[in-house]
Amino acid sequence: MTSSATERLRRLRWVLTALVTTANMLAIVGLAWWIVRSDGRQGEARLDAELHRVTSSVSRLIILDEAIDFSLVNTDELDDRCPQFAIMPGGTLTFQAHMSRQVCVPMDGAVLSGLAATAVRRGGAVVGYQRDSQGDLVRVRVEPLLDRKHEYVGAIVAVAGTDAERQRHNKLTALVIGGCLVLFAGLGAAAHALSGRAIRPVAAALHQQEVLLAETAHDLRTPVAALRALAETALDNPERQADLLSRTVRLAGRMGRIIDGLLVRARLAAGVEKLAIQPMWLDQLVSTVAEDTAAEGAQITVTAAPTKVYADPILVQRAIGNLLDNAIRYGRRPGAAAIVHITVAGGTVTVADHGPGIDAALADEAFDRFSSTGGSSGLGLSIVRWVAQAHGGTLTVYNADEGGAIFELRLPVSAP
């Protein structure tokens, strides 16, 4: 079930990534389209403004009387610059068409004449696109000429090539498209990271559930088996039921403490509860744990100096109990009783045994869940390390020169 839930979370992350990326892409594509379209309109407006400048300037240079006089036009610098223009007949007055000396784009005279006739017929300026003699697109503006009688006598046709403006617009379009592609990639990565952060609490909750189930099963497997064995023995030996019943009660109590500890850890790790940090006398707690622990033939000694620490008493009590239980179970030589010595001073609890010790190469693995290397009891030591880290302390292990493993649990001695 956990695996399928994890897989669904992965799919959900990709779905969220796709949705966020797609929504942003649509917005960016819309913005890019608006930028490109606006730039095209602005470029067209610049061409029209330049053409209007030419037609209005030329119209002021033309002298219209009984005949048309181009003398001022011939001497003006407009005649030698782009955009080019042509003054075409098309009304009541007949005259020879005038072409500007500067030829910027090749234009057919018949096309210019037709444009002039259209402007005269409409009685107003004509602006639009045409094709030059080579088939390239050009921008034109045609402005009709009025004589003193307010009759149309012809038109001024200004022509501008669009190659430079088109190249500039195409360059901007390419830059916008390239920028969009870069943004798409960046948005995809950002959306994937954000979606991962969004589902992280759910993934953490699933992980905590998996850890809780695994640790509960691991911690309860041995007590449950022992409880069943005690019950079966009591059924087979009625004369021993009183003794076996008391042992069953103690074992049931131990199982209850295991479950409580696991639930507290799970709730703390999930953020449902907070550590109950308070000042406590570590030496007194260690002595109490040592007195209440079933020695099972082990020799337990405690050397403690008054030590005040700031910690959660319930969690620390379980951590000390796990260290002591680990030393009793594994800190003995074959055929000999366990010898455990506990020292408390300066916020540090040292638990030393006379067992075979622990392989230095496997010391870190001793704190992993379900590991039972050397002196490690598996889950018990992993819980001790978690308690130490939750309080800002440390748990270290090393071997004594004369043999045996030494575990040091350090807790903060100052207020958080």
Tokens 């960046």 locate to 186
Q: If we measure between CA atoms, which residue out of 307, 321, 273, 255 comes closest to residue 414?
A: 307
How many Cβ atoms from other residues are within 10 Å of residue 160's Cβ?
22
The dihedral through the CA atoms of 150, 151, 156, 162 has a sign that is: positive
Instruction: Tally Cβ neighbours within 10 Å of residue 333.
Output: 14
Dist CA 350 CA 396 (whole Å): 10
339-345 and 299-304 beta bridge pairing: parallel
**pLDDT for the residue numbered 270:** 62
Token pair for 102: 């500067």
- Phi and psi dihedrals of 185, rounded to 5? -65, -45
Residues of the chain below pLDDT 70: 1-4, 66, 91-93, 208, 211-212, 215-216, 218-219, 222, 257, 261-262, 264-273, 294-296, 359-379, 416
The separation between CA 75 and the C-alpha centre of its own chain, rounded to angstroms, equals 69
Q: What is the full DSSP assignment across 155-174?
A: EEEEEEE-HHHHHHHHHHHH
Return d(Cα 400, Cα 406) in angstroms, integer: 7
The H or E element that residue 324 is part of is helix 313-330
Q: Which residues pair with 408 in a beta bridge?
A: 350, 396
Residues 6+ apart with CB under 8 A from 137: 129, 130, 131, 162, 166
353 three-class SS:
strand
Q: What is the CA radius of gyration of the chain?
A: 47
d(CA 168, CA 7): 50
User: Would you state the pLDDT for residue 94?
Assistant: 77
pLDDT of residue 192: 85
Hey, how many other C-beta atoms are within 10 angstroms of the C-beta on 183?
16
pLDDT at 266: 67
- What pLDDT, in 10s, does the model give residues 296-319? 677 888 998 998 999 888 888 888
* Residues 207-263 pLDDT 10s: 767 766 776 676 677 677 777 887 888 788 877 777 778 777 877 777 776 777 667
What are the distances in angstroms from CA 257 to CA 16, 215, 377? 42, 14, 17
Evaluate whether 369 touches 382 at the Cβ level (below 8 Å). yes
Both tokens of 191, joined, read 């959306």
Residue 38's pLDDT is 94
Structure tokens, 275: 């550590």
| Maximal C-alpha separation, the chain | 146
Give the per-residue pLDDT at 373. Answer: 42
